[in-house]
Structure 1
Amino acid sequence: MKDDLEQILKSFGEIESSLTIEEALWKLSNLTLFIFKAESVTIMDVSEIPYHFVVLKNVDSTAASELEESLFKGKNEKNLKIIKETKSPLILEDTLKYEFWLKVGNSPRSWIGIPILVDNEVKYIINIDSYTPNFYNDDFQGLAEAFSMYASSVIEKNKLIEQLFKTAAFDKLTEVQTRQQLFDELKRNIDRYKRYGVKFSCLMLDLDKFKNINDTYGHNIGDIALKSFAKVIKENLRQSDYIFRFGGDEFIIKLEEAKENEAYLIAKRLKELISSVKITESLNLSTSIGVKEYKGESLEEFLKKLDEALYKAKKSKEGIVISD
């Protein structure tokens, strides 16, 4: 008992030293395994459909891929919906007794779902699994509720820390994230792709004839053009997507869980929106866009191919090119 308490206290210290949400979630999953004597634990981001895994611990790979595929198809399980609606933990003593339970692969027989709330909305759900029927029961309700409150407070704190870091490193002119933050973000996405196969794509875009804008209208108008360009993009991205200033008039947009065909459609829509922006009576904005889905290459190679796609886009009739 003393050893268990020491382990829990040590875990609390490690969790609360986290500087990012991602780091905190991984450490929370370790503590969840220990406290609930779980055989496997997953954490899902349920803020937007389709839901997706952000942490997998001790999970059968076949079951995980089947479950994530069902989530991508919009088959969101009733148990997750109940948790989102009630904002409270849910315990299924024997999962096979529930018709709505998605029976895939080596499916758990007893389960607890614990919500993590951010801004009073369910952002993540911790899935706690046992392969023994009736392992979890109402006796775990109090513990699950306490853990939900603790995990929510941790993630709320990490959200504030991340916001402070992002605000401090924002590009002052366009108020978007910087090149260094892009590298950090892409490294996290590449790691997630290698672990779970979660796809993502990027768009690289710039202002057409930006040098001519500066030369003809002056640098003040050039700055206004850049700010307007970034603003229309920010206002028309999904909550899960990010824009970064790569340098000069070049920007990169990271599209979470988007394949190249989806990224192309987003690029097409953004290009139309940007073309409608009028800076002066004689100056409308326009852009060229390179599109690239990540397919396992190095970060350097990925960015090189993305840059090449933008270069080709500037010479193409449509102004959008998907990387080979």
Structure 2
Amino acid sequence: MKTLFIFLIFLPSLFYANTKVTLQLNWLNQFQFAGYYIAKEKGFYSDVGIDVDIKEFNTDINLLDEINSNKAQFAVGRSSLLIEKINGKNIVALAAIFQNSPLMLLVRENSNIKRVEDLKNKKIMITTDAKMSASILAMLYSHGLNPNDYKVQKHSFNLEDLISGKTDAMGSYLSNEPIRLEDKNIKYNILHPKDSGFDFYSDILFTSSKFIDKNPKLTEDFYTASIKGWKYAFNNMAETADLIYKKYNTQNKSLIHLLKEGEVLKKLAFHEDGEIGCLDESKLKDIVNVFKVLGITNTDTNIDEFIYENNNHKRYRFEISYEESKIILLISVFVILIILVILYFLAKNKESRELLHTVINSTDDMVFYKDKNFKYLGCNESFQKFVNKEESEIIGKDDFNLFNVSIARMFRKQDIKILKDKEQKVYEDWVIYDDNEVLFQTKKIFFSYNKSSKNGILAISRDITALYKIQKKLKEQSYIDELTQVYNRKSYNRRIKESLDSFKRYKTKFCIAMFDIDDFKSINDTYGHDIGDKVLTEMTKEIQSYIRKTDFLFRVGGEEFVILFPNSVLDEAHIVCEKIRKKVSELKMIDNRVVTISIGVTQVKQTDTSKDIYERVDKLMYLSKHNGKNQSTIE
């Protein structure tokens, strides 16, 4: 009987026990994996029925084998996972925690290595696997350094080798070795692939499509809880560092060191839209192209299959008007015609080439062509004017002789792709030259000359700065209220949808407040519409000084406005709204008349749609008006 009683007590746990999964890290415990520790310790995983075992890396572990053998259900890898995907491995990338890789080359300041070119004939300590060091190898290659120009040393992962001079440059992480050198008061320089245009992802959370197909909800829950953990970790750095220091500190790092790690990694983590984990299709294609240039692969892969279907990646579409599209089409046609003319004349004799110069010098667009070693073969007068050099000073030179390093690196990266892919590409790049910032649209194509025995790059570049500014202004106008210069109703519709999506995925609470100017019709009728407009502009300007930079103010009607408070609860939003209401009533916008507002405030609910939350806050605002005006009502 006693045995039966004990069995009955523990029977529910047999049915409701959390699903156990293993997360395999790709290095030792440190802030680099903070989001996963937080998700485990704060109960984000257990809240969705998952019990996660987080395993440190050791040299005997092969991440892909762990996933394929189901010893681990999830793992953390690098951008080299793309190569494994190309090679037929069953991989799905759930999220890229770091949008910019912390991997770089670290050098001592007293080594006098200040530029990538200074590494010629130097010792470089990197992992011998080209896939793992691809961004560094691409950086070296783009600066004209081939493998025989430097000595690769097997990585010892011992910082003393750099300090003592055993090596000249060491593959390191921004969040680790530089902090250790600072602790020792040793000055250093960083050579980062991103500065040369090679922007890789890092710490890609991945699994297999086989596992996802069998466990779709488990995968989505793990993904969602992990992202929630990362957001919490970066929003609560001190708490997170303290947790790692006390519970996950197998490397015996100091609390200060862990905090510094977190500060560095936070700068690398967030996508431009403020999200964590985003995987962008175009960026992944660029990474594959780098692998191609390095000869690691010559094959493409289906990027869409590589990215987890629920990942928060977005494809941005730049909207232009019908009139602008016609302008761009005309420009494109004109550019293509010029390129065809140039190719025709390049294949002809000397007399034809002289005629070519006459043709290309008649255009304001810059025309130039290079050989396969990136040396200039020719250019038109517009290009000469831009670089402020005669043609004789340009022929035989490369971009590093004509431009500053950052511009030259960008051009070199593009040219490498053209020669590798042998197809035309269009680039839009901001270039700062002689203190002027100019946006160029450049079409580059691969071409052969001297009866196809030699290859090169032909390009035509046009200044589209004015067009860009027109497009930018039109885009801003489509989201900005013309009178008050706050966001308009169209912008509100977009933001509220994003906020609801974030709430449903990450439980990120938010509030909205709607307010209306009391008796505004009377103000317009008594004082005229000019005074009414003055009230609107002065009031919105004042309100913007009372809300956070992360809050949004929208004009959704004539005298109706909405404030969106991200990451806020009802009490917090109500306090701010009360301050705004009182401040508006104190403003002297009209002589001998007090202007007041009535406010409704609400917090997002689990079942809310954009229509639900708008109708609810609208009713709350009208309750404030009905009950006497100049007050706020909350729910």
Q: TM-score range by the shorter chain?
A: 0.5 to 0.7
Equivalent of residue 237 in structure 1, options 547, 556, 560: 547
The 8 Å contact of residues 97 and 202 in structure 2, kept in 1 or not, is answered as no
Distance 1:221-1:61 versus aligned 2 partners, 3 A rule: closer
SS of residue in 1 equivalent to 2:511: strand
Distance 1:39-1:231 versus aligned 2 partners, 3 A rule: closer
Unaligned runs of 5+ in 2: 1-79, 87-94, 102-130, 132-199, 207-219, 243-247, 259-263, 278-409, 411-428, 431-438, 440-468
For the residues of structure 1 that align with 2:276 and 2:610, how far apart are their CA atoms? 31
For the residues of structure 2 that align with 1:40 and 1:28, how far apart are their CA atoms? 7
Query: Residue 171 of structure 1 aligns to which amino acid in structure 2?
Result: D
Query: Residue 588 of structure 2 aligns to which amino acid in structure 1?
Result: K
The normalised TM-score by structure 1 is: 0.59
Shift of 1:5: 11
Structure 1 residues 1-324: aligned runs within 5 Å? 4=83, 38=203, 40=205, 65=228, 75=238, 77-78=240-241, 96-97=250-251, 98=253, 100=255, 113=265, 115-116=267-268, 165-296=475-606, 297-317=608-628, 319-323=631-635
For the residues of structure 1 that align with 2:612 and 2:621, how far apart are their CA atoms? 14
For the residues of structure 1 that align with 2:221 and 2:602, how far apart are their CA atoms? 32
For the residues of structure 1 that align with 2:476 and 2:239, how far apart are their CA atoms? 32
| Fraction of identical pairs, as percent | 23
Query: Residue 4 of structure 1 aligns to which amino acid in structure 2?
Result: I
Query: Residue 291 of structure 1 aligns to which amino acid in structure 2?
Result: V
Q: Deviations over 1:122-143 (max 9, x none)?
A: 997978xxxxxxxxxxxxxxxx
Shift of 1:303: 0.4
Shift of 1:229: 1.5
Distance 1:308-1:72 versus aligned 2 partners, 3 A rule: farther
The 8 Å contact of residues 166 and 177 in structure 1, kept in 2 or not, is answered as no
Shift of 1:192: 0.5
Q: Which has the higher contact order (CA 8 A, sep 6+)?
A: 1
Shift of 1:285: 1.8
SS of residue in 1 equivalent to 2:531: helix
SS of residue in 1 equivalent to 2:267: strand
For the residues of structure 2 that align with 1:258 and 1:294, how far apart are their CA atoms? 10
Query: Residue 563 of structure 2 aligns to which amino acid in structure 1?
Result: I
For the residues of structure 2 that align with 1:28 and 1:71, how far apart are their CA atoms? 12
Query: Residue 316 of structure 1 aligns to which amino acid in structure 2?
Result: N
For the residues of structure 2 that align with 1:124 and 1:252, how far apart are their CA atoms? 22
For the residues of structure 2 that align with 1:125 and 1:194, how far apart are their CA atoms? 14
SS of residue in 1 equivalent to 2:556: strand
Shift of 1:236: 1.6
Q: Bigger CA drift: 62-71 or 218-227?
A: 62-71
Shift of 1:59: 5.3
Unaligned runs of 5+ in 1: 8-25, 42-56, 80-93, 104-111, 128-149
Shift of 1:220: 1.0
> Which structure would you say has the larger Rg?
2
Shift of 1:286: 0.8
SS of residue in 1 equivalent to 2:574: helix
For the residues of structure 2 that align with 1:250 and 1:207, how far apart are their CA atoms? 7
Distance 1:71-1:27 versus aligned 2 partners, 3 A rule: closer
The 8 Å contact of residues 310 and 321 in structure 1, kept in 2 or not, is answered as yes
Superposed CA RMSD in Å reads 4.6
Number of equivalenced pairs? 237
The 8 Å contact of residues 229 and 285 in structure 1, kept in 2 or not, is answered as no
The normalised TM-score by structure 2 is: 0.32
Distance 1:215-1:37 versus aligned 2 partners, 3 A rule: closer
Shift of 1:74: 7.2
